[in-house]
Amino acid sequence: MKKRKIGMALSLVLAAGTLLGACGKSNETETAKGKTFSVAMVTDIGGVDDKSFNQSSWEGLKNFGKKNGLTKGKGGYDYLQSQSDADYTTNLNTLVRQGFDLVYGIGFLMPNAVEAIAKQQKNTEFAIVDAEVKQPNVASILFKEQEAGFLAGIAAALSTKSNHIGFIGGMKIPVTERFESGYLAGVKAANPTVKVDVQYAGAFDKAEVGQAIAAKMYSTGADVIFHAAGATGVGVFKEANDLKKKDPNKQIWVIGVDRDQADMGPDVVLTSALKRVDVAVQDLSQKAKDGNFPGGKVTLYGLTEDGVGLAPINEKAANKTNIDAAVKEWVKKIKDGKVKVPENQKELKTFNPK
């Protein structure tokens, strides 16, 4: 009897082990196929509906989720919104505790928070957009904003009737300066006689400041303004739309940023300097899901990678055909390596478009 009981016990143990092993293999396969892979992001203070950077990031995350059969929420794809910089660490930690496999920090304001949490949570993969964090479990995403800015400069210089245009930046940081440098280089390449007003708002979430700066630029003769100011740029669109309503025959143009912002005013949005954060977020999420997470590395997205570009020129633009032709020509030159667009003021000084 004892032998029979021992034999039965051993059989049960072996059977349980086989079942557990099978379960383990099933879960591993499921994860490998991406069925249980989950990803989330933490916005900066601009918010997920900023009509710009955060919104584009969220669109990329949603596209990835839908492509892979995920649903919004825990275990799928999600986001947490930050009301202030004090929320970054808390929000990142919350998403880690909820079990997300990949967690994004969106924006240049978050590298310190991402680095701190990444050091504590070594089994979680992180990604940061617009900054570099040198940790083995963090992938850094950067863009060649100067290339998109360059194309915006071409469009602005070929559109202006007053020979006077503007640039409004959010905060004076490397990202925005790359947009500015590229924009000024594009103007120089298309028409070096055009005057360009440059001003920074000092924030990415102050629409009223953006509107005030735009009002001054338009009133002093500028007829095209390129904004690289996040939610501050909402004020630029408001001012342009208000002026257009007062005088429908007056040329008033805005060039949007990050995503195609044509929806901000069909009569005033000339085009947008695209920074395809949505493409980058979707691409890197897919790499992580497939087991190719580029931890500890910088992934750079430019024209060649379809990471930046220019949105369609407004059909109402008088010079649309010439702008389209010029943009196409310069895109080819940049992709072929014949033109290196300056990414800072130092490079801009020596830039020769010929």
The string of pLDDT tens digits covering residues 175-202 is 999 999 999 999 999 999 999 999 999 9
| 110 neighbors 249 (Cβ within 8 angstroms) | no
Query: Mean of the per-residue pLDDT values for the chain?
Result: 90
In terms of Cα–Cα distance, which of 148, 225, 221, 217 is closest to 186? 148
How far is the C-alpha of 147 from the C-alpha of 308, rounded, in Å? Answer: 7
Confidence of residue 9 (pLDDT cuts 50, 70, 90): very low
Paired tokens of 207:
């629409």
Paired tokens of 175:
């990202």
- Kind plus residue range of the DSSP H or E element containing 121: none
Paired tokens of 283:
């691409």
Q: Where are the alpha helices (DSSP H) in the chain?
A: 2-32, 53-67, 87-97, 111-120, 145-159, 174-190, 207-219, 233-246, 277-289, 320-335, 345-349
In terms of Cα–Cα distance, which of 96, 67, 79, 84 is closest to 40? 79
Count CB-CB contacts under 10 A for residue 151: 29
In terms of Cα–Cα distance, which of 127, 123, 102 is closest to 114? 127
How far is the C-alpha of 282 from the C-alpha of 136, rounded, in Å? Answer: 20
Tell me, what's the pLDDT at 3? 40
Q: Give SS3 for 141.
A: strand
Q: Which domains does the chain have, with CATH numbers?
A: 39-143+279-301 (3.40.50.2300), 145-274+319-349 (3.40.50.2300)
Average pLDDT over residues 155-169: 98
Count CB-CB contacts under 10 A for residue 29: 10
Tell me, what's the pLDDT at 46? 79
In terms of Cα–Cα distance, which of 75, 85, 76 is closest to 105? 85
Taking each helix axis from N to C end, the angle separating 87-97 and 111-120, rounded to the nearest 10 degrees, works out to 40
User: Is a pLDDT exceeding 70 seen at residue 22?
Assistant: no
Calculate the CA dihedral of residues 275, 277, 283, 288 and round it to 10 degrees: 140
Paired tokens of 320:
């649309």
Paired tokens of 243:
């002026």
How far is the C-alpha of 75 from the C-alpha of 285, rounded, in Å? Answer: 14
**The dihedral sign for the CA sequence 208, 201, 265, 81:** negative
Q: Give SS3 for 259.
A: coil
Tell me, what's the pLDDT at 33? 43
Tell me, what's the pLDDT at 51? 75
User: Is a pLDDT exceeding 90 seen at residue 208?
Assistant: yes
For 228-287, the pLDDT digits (tens) are: 998 899 999 999 999 999 999 999 999 999 889 999 999 999 999 999 999 999 999 999
Least confident of 36-50, 81-95, 108-122: 36-50
| 276 neighbors 286 (Cβ within 8 angstroms) | no
